[in-house]
């Protein structure tokens, strides 16, 4: 299915279960796939026939910078819900949120979750 991807949105924010995460903050990476029919935009060359990825970026960035939550799953849900609410053309979303350096002991590159959501009729 056609889609628009916004990759590697890097935001300093204060989400997490630990108080230290709320106080110190950390970097989050958000990757979004918006599934929609791009036929009209591809044929007409009209921005109104698609989703303006710059506007979508700004909305996503404000959500991630916004009210702190415990779980990155909940943050991803907020991003997905906002995309469906703002853009009627979006059929499905895939939102991945990565913590690049969470305060958890161990040898690993990062942690992430991915939500796949369909528009509910
Ligand atoms: N599935 C998840 N597990 C954990 C999360 C999360 O958001 N989703 N968060 C934490 C803490 O915030 C962690 O970063 C520090 O203890 C733990 N597990």
With helix as H, strand as E and coil as C, how does 108-119 read? CCCEEEEEEEEC
Q: Which of 19, 111, 112, 114 to mutate to test the pocket of ligand 1 (most atoms within 8 A of CB)?
A: 111
Q: Is the distance from the beta carbon of residue 103 to the nearest atom of ligand 1 less than 6 Å?
A: yes
- Structural domains in the chain, CATH included, are 3-118 (3.30.1130.10)
Query: How large is the ipTM?
Result: 0.95
The pLDDT tens digits of the residues spanning 70-103 come to 999 999 999 999 999 999 999 999 999 999 999 9
Under a CB-based contact definition with an 8 Å cutoff, are residues 31 and 113 in contact?
Answer: no
pTM for this prediction = 0.97
Helix/strand/coil for 3: strand
Taking the centre of ligand 1 as the mean of its atom positions, its distance from the CA of residue 71, in whole angstroms, is 6
């Amino acid at each position: 299915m056609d889609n628009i991807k916004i990759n590697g949105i890097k935001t300093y924010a204060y989400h997490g279960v630990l108080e230290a995460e709320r106080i110190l903050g950390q970097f989050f990476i958000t990757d979004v796939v918006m599934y929609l029919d791009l036929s009209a935009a591809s044929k007409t060359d009209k921005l109104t026939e698609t989703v303006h990825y710059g506007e979508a970026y700004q909305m996503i960035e404000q959500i991630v910078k916004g009210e702190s939550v415990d779980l990155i799953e909940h943050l991803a849900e907020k991003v997905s819900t906002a995309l469906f609410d703002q853009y009627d053309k979006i059929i499905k979303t895939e939102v991945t949120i990565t913590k690049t350096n969470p305060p958890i002991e161990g040898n690993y590159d990062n942690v992430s979750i991915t939500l796949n959501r369909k528009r509910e009729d």
